[in-house]
A = this chain, B = another copy of it.
Amino acid sequence: MAEHEYIIKRRVEFNETDMAGIVHYSNFFRYMEYAEHAFFRSLGRSIVNRELGVGWPRVHCTCDFKHPLMFEDEVEIHMLISAKTRKTMGYQFRFRRDGTEVARGNVTVVCVRRNEAGEMKSARIPEEIADLFEVAPADKLADNI
């Protein structure tokens, strides 16, 4: 059974804030990975897998910030699979506090494998990973929630 979404909760830490008193925007991209890696773990996998020999560099990302997050806020990070091709996956992330969306992000990752010359080259996603994920239904990915 392929999965298309995963939710984690996380409390904002002091060192994630900046002198403006809010979470520094760069940290939202760390939060996105926390959800992605927990999603992999929930499926019995790790994003780091030396046997498979593949890596997952990020090639594109965006984030829209609607409300600031503060120290000790409990934030829900809702990850959805938004796209899946032979070599890439697209993720959507919705950040919510008390049910209100505070930010929304997108990340595209590409599967890479080291070639004989030692260079990382894009590669087909191994079947055993690809089979774990499916694109979320269109209505879940749509804007209006």
A residues apposed to B, CB below 8 Å: 13-15, 17-22, 24-27, 29-30, 33-34, 37, 41, 46-48, 55, 57-66, 68, 71-72, 120
Contact = CB atoms under 8 A, between A and B. Distances in A.
Central interface residue in A21, A47, A68, by most chain B CB within 10 Å: A21
B29 A14 contact: no
The quantity of this chain's copies bound in the complex is 4
A-B interface, 4 closest residue pairs, ranked by CB to CB distance from nearest: A17-B19, A26-B29, A62-B62, A25-B58
A29 B30 contact: no
Main secondary structure of the interface of A (DSSP, over half): mixed
A13 B25 contact: no
Contacts of A37: 13-14, 72
Nearest to A56: B20
Contacts of A68: 57, 120
A66 to B, nearest CB: 8
